[in-house]
Amino acid sequence: MSTEPRVGCAVDVNGRITFDLAARPVEGEQLLLRLRPKKGRPEQTLHVLCLEPAGDGRSRAVLGPQPVLAEGRWDVYLLRGPEGERQRLRPGLRDLRALVDGRLRDWPSPLAVRIPYVTKDGHLAIRAWLRPAHAEADGIDVTDRSMTVTARLHGASLGTGAAVQLRLRGRDGAVRTLEPQVASDGRSLSFTVGCAELATATGTGSGVWNVFVLPEPGAPLIRVARLLDDVADRKEVFVYPPVRVGGTVVRPYYTVDNDLSVEVTQAD
Amino acid sequence: MKISFLLHNAYGIGGTITTTFNLAQALAERHEVEIVSVLRHREHPSFALDPRVTLRPLVDLRQEKEHELHLRPARVFPRAEYRYGQYSELTDRRIGECLAGTDADVVIGTRPGLNVHLALEAPRHVARIGQEHLTLDNHSPRLRGALRRAYRRLDVLTTVTEADAGTYRRKMRLPGVRVQALPNSVPDPALPAADGSAKVVVAAGRLVPVKRYDLLVEAFAVVAAEHPDWQLRIYGTGREHARLQRLIAERGLYNNVFLMGAAAPMEAEWVKGSIGATASDFEPFGMTIVEAMRCGLPVVSTDCPYGPGEIIEDGVDGRLVPVGDRAALGAALLELVRDDERRRRSGRAALQNARRFAPGPVVEQAEELLAEAVSARRAGRQVARGRARMHQVLAGQGFAARDTALTAADAVRRAIRRGQR
């Protein structure tokens, strides 16, 4: 049996995470959060949390809204022993109910989202997003020739000349610009992507288009994504039907970072 | 007492695994408890197991999948058992050795094939409890025949519903064996109950045809049409995944219905919802119904054999609708979606009513059964007092004769099919 302790956690509407460890705190033990570095790069960002007794032979550590976590995946460790040896933690219950309807609230700028999740190898980690502004995708309506996306801005509002841009990943210059329908509050918008046009713009072969909102001319682009609920890995869960146009298949999907993209592939 | 459970695979996800862990952990408060897992395919169990319960795997598939003996078919484990293909001469041997060498006072089998091992191979001084998590009527005639011969050597046979216990008493002649319903237990939830405000319907189980998630998805269409802000989340994995995904796309429900993948434990997922749902054609017990209710969710379920009707009180803590009836299922969901107050009231009733499935009451029953079986073994007498009445004997013989005929007919059909190829 594994000796890795289990740690449960609960998140409140402000993003505060309370960790609950099923063991009495031992002098010198702390929780460590580490931003997972890219392969082969050294780790740079760490946060250490105090473990306090919580009665009933348990201990507790709190990650308040501050510090703001940089975007990425944060591994959670128990620091123990005189040398501060690290031990990974197995997940206990993750009470994320406060996150489920997060898209119904207005989020300030910068948008900071944290979702505790279980890694592929069965350990507790936190998925964090940190963006100056955010366009939260809601429903996507797929027909046999187009897809209509509704979204809502957080930390920015739409001005005159607002546009939606689809930018072809990995190739210079290919941009499709669409005019969105903007609600009177300047926050909600919808836009329709014509699948045949997108297929033509992709040219031969396959391509992936990333979706952005340009709130007004000259402003920074805002990535369209779906971040405001409890689902840390959306790609295999929010699945949309493919649209066939001629010899190509066009399909909206969420990336491994929960960003919205549209994939164009050649049909077999 | 020293208590040993014999389980197919403690490292997977499923109702039998959950309930065995729950019972083992509750018994570990006062007894020495181990779980023997015939198979192991990964390092850790999916469900956390109380460290007081010892977990002992017999065959580690990560190393022994190609073991010479594992490639030969099992001879003790009955051929007609559902999982026969996963058993082998190696499992036969390891289970046999494990039983021969056990120092437990009582061994509890958790599926038909393992109950057969237990009945045939447990040492004389060890009390033998067979647990039936499926149901007798669902077994093939051939399997019923095999069980009829072996189960006479058990001390106690437990079913998960009264209905199935009744069927066993009526159709099997098991003189001296105490047949009793012992419902599955669900531990006290660690999280606060759901408050009925979330616009989420939750279902959980393996994605297999009998669970009828196709029916649930179609029934949810009326909810999504009237209340587009409501979601249906289906947790679990299985061979129906691709078909369900296509159905969700065809019905245009991809903004409302989600296949969430596996979640273990489910507790943190139930509390994100405010209604539980089951659309099964057949549910030997209905573990997920009790789990959802213990988290404060009213459950809408088909009134299928056998469990749901013994768990849900229709109109009080949930709804029971006819099997396979999409319109009725959709209407029952819609009733609870539309009416916030009714949903909250039903949720509170569910929380209250499901307490009878807490480990406390269930474990007391289990302890009493185990103690009685152990003392009967020690005294060399049978657990079930009194003889089977004559009409029961005759009825049992009638069902045995019918199964024998059905088995023979099966064999003939197979022979004919072979001939036609």
Over the stretch A225-243, which tens digit does the pLDDT of each residue have?
999 999 999 999 999 999 9
Residues of A in contact with B270 (CB under 8 A): none
Q: How far A219 CA lies from chain B's nearest CA (Å)? A: 31
User: What is the largest distance, in Å, between two alpha-carbon atoms of chain B?
Assistant: 66
- DSSP code of residue A106: -
**Which chain A residue's Cα is nearest to B233?**
A237
What H or E segment, with its residue span, contains residue B420? helix B390-420
Those residues of chain B whose CB sits closer than 8 Å to some CB in chain A are 43-44, 48-49, 51, 55, 190-191, 194, 198-200, 228, 245, 248-249, 254-255, 258-261, 265, 267-268, 271-272
Residue with tokens 């949903």: B343
Task: Name the token pair of A128.
Answer: 């964090």
Asked if B190 and A8 come within 8 Å (Cβ–Cβ), the reply is yes
- DSSP code of residue A69: P
Residues of B in contact with A151 (CB under 8 A): none
pLDDT tens per residue across span A189-223: 999 999 999 999 998 789 999 999 999 999 999 99
Helix axes B15-27, B287-294, angle to 10 degrees: 60
User: Domain A6-131 carries which CATH code?
Assistant: 2.60.40
Closest by Cα among A186, A15, A35 to A113: A15
**A62 and chain B: CB distance < 8 Å anywhere?**
no
Residues of A in contact with B253 (CB under 8 A): none
Asked if B260 and A237 come within 8 Å (Cβ–Cβ), the reply is yes
Asked if A93 and B267 come within 8 Å (Cβ–Cβ), the reply is yes
Q: How far A166 CA lies from chain B's nearest CA (Å)? A: 22
Asked if A100 and B267 come within 8 Å (Cβ–Cβ), the reply is no
**Which chain B residue's Cα is nearest to A3?**
B51
CA separation (Å) from B87 to B35, B59, B64, B74?
A: 18, 10, 12, 6
Q: How far A90 CA lies from chain B's nearest CA (Å)? A: 10
Of 3.20.20.70, 3.40.50.2000, 1.10.3720.10, 3.40.47.10, the CATH number of B2-185+362-410 is 3.40.50.2000
Residues of B in contact with A230 (CB under 8 A): 272
Residues of B in contact with A54 (CB under 8 A): none
Asked if B255 and A140 come within 8 Å (Cβ–Cβ), the reply is yes
**A236 and chain B: CB distance < 8 Å anywhere?**
yes
pLDDT tens for each residue of chain B, 421 residues long = 999 999 999 999 887 898 899 999 999 999 999 999 999 999 999 888 999 999 999 999 999 999 999 999 999 999 999 999 999 999 999 999 999 999 999 999 999 999 999 999 999 999 999 999 989 998 999 999 999 999 999 999 999 999 999 999 999 988 889 999 999 888 899 999 999 999 999 999 999 999 999 999 999 999 999 999 999 999 999 999 999 999 999 999 999 999 999 998 899 999 999 999 999 999 999 999 999 999 999 999 999 999 999 999 999 999 999 999 999 999 999 999 999 999 999 999 999 999 999 988 899 999 999 999 999 999 888 787 544 455 566 667 788 888 888 888 777 776 666 665 5
Asked if A93 and B199 come within 8 Å (Cβ–Cβ), the reply is no
User: Domain A134-266 carries which CATH code?
Assistant: 2.60.40
Dihedral angle, C-alpha B391, B396, B400, B405, nearest 10 °: 40
Q: What is the pLDDT of residue B407?
A: 81
Q: How far B77 CA lies from chain A's nearest CA (Å)? A: 28
- The yes-or-no verdict on residue A165 having pLDDT over 70 is yes
Asked if B55 and A101 come within 8 Å (Cβ–Cβ), the reply is no
- DSSP code of residue A221: P
* pLDDT band (50, 70, 90) for residue A10: very high
**Residues A183 and A234 sit within 8 Å (Cβ to Cβ):** no
Would you say the CATH fold of B200-356 matches that of B2-185+362-410?
yes
Pairing of strands A17-21, A207-214: unpaired
d(CA B241, CA B244): 5
Size of interface A-B (CB pairs under 8 A): 56
Q: Residue A136 corresponds to which amino acid?
A: E
Asked if A96 and B268 come within 8 Å (Cβ–Cβ), the reply is yes
The backbone torsions φ and ψ at residue B189, rounded to the nearest 5 degrees and listed phi first, read: -60, 145
Tell me the residue length of chain B: 421
Task: Name the token pair of B22.
Answer: 């729950």
Q: Give domain limits for chain B.
A: 2-185+362-410, 200-356
Q: What is the pLDDT of residue A215?
A: 96
pLDDT tens per residue across span A89-140: 999 999 999 999 999 999 999 999 999 999 999 999 999 999 999 999 999 9
**Which chain B residue's Cα is nearest to A230?**
B272
Average pLDDT over residues A252-262: 98
Mutate to test the interface with B, among A56, A97, A147 (most CBs of B within 10 A): A97
**Residues A215 and A157 sit within 8 Å (Cβ to Cβ):** yes
The backbone torsions φ and ψ at residue B371, rounded to the nearest 5 degrees and listed phi first, read: -60, -40
- DSSP code of residue B30: T
Q: What is the pLDDT of residue B418?
A: 61
Asked if B194 and A97 come within 8 Å (Cβ–Cβ), the reply is yes
Q: What is the 3-state secondary structure (H, E, C) of chain B?
A: CEEEEEEEECCCCCHHHHHHHHHHHHHCCCCEEEEEEEEECCCCCCCCCCCCCEEEEEEEHHHHCCCHHHHCECCCCCCCCCCHHHCEHHHHHHHHHHHHCCCCCEEEECCHHHHHHHHHHCCCCCEEEEEECCCHHHCCHHHHHHHHHHHHHCCEEEECCHHHHHHHHHHCCCCCCEEEECCCCCCCCCCCCCCCCCCEEEEECCCCHHHCHHHHHHHHHHHHHHCCCCEEEEECCCCCHHHHHHHHHHCCCCCCEEEEECCCCCHHHHCCCCEEEECCCCECCCHHHHHHHHCCCCEEEECCCECHHHHCCECCCEEEECCCCHHHHHHHHHHHHHCHHHHHHHHHHHHHHHHHHCHHHHHHHHHHHHHHHHHHHHHCCCCCCCCCCHHHHHHHHHHHHHHHHHHHHHHHHHHHHHHHC
Q: Which segments of chain A belong to CATH 2.60.40? A: 6-131, 134-266
CA separation (Å) from B145 to A37, B64, B262?
A: 61, 32, 36
Q: What is the pLDDT of residue A83?
A: 81
Task: Name the token pair of B191.
Answer: 């999280």
**A117 and chain B: CB distance < 8 Å anywhere?**
no
d(CA A55, CA A81): 22
Q: How far A251 CA lies from chain B's nearest CA (Å)? A: 12
Q: How far B196 CA lies from chain A's nearest CA (Å)? A: 12
**A100 and chain B: CB distance < 8 Å anywhere?**
yes
Nearest residue, CB atoms, A241 vs list B249, B259, B271:
B249
Residue B306: asked if its preceding bond is cis (omega within 30°), the reply is yes
Show which of residues 202-231 on chain A sit within 8 Å of chain B, judged by CB atoms: 230
Residues of B in contact with A241 (CB under 8 A): 249, 254
Asked if B43 and A241 come within 8 Å (Cβ–Cβ), the reply is no
B200-356 homologous superfamily: Glycogen Phosphorylase B; (3.40.50.2000)
**Residues B260 and B248 sit within 8 Å (Cβ to Cβ):** no
d(CA A223, CA A136): 9
Q: What is the pLDDT of residue A1?
A: 39
Average pLDDT over residues A160-185: 92
**A97 and chain B: CB distance < 8 Å anywhere?**
yes
Residues of B in contact with A92 (CB under 8 A): 48
Q: What is the pLDDT of residue B404?
A: 82
Q: How far B19 CA lies from chain A's nearest CA (Å)? A: 18
Asked if B272 and A236 come within 8 Å (Cβ–Cβ), the reply is no
Helix axes B112-121, B141-150, angle to 10 degrees: 30
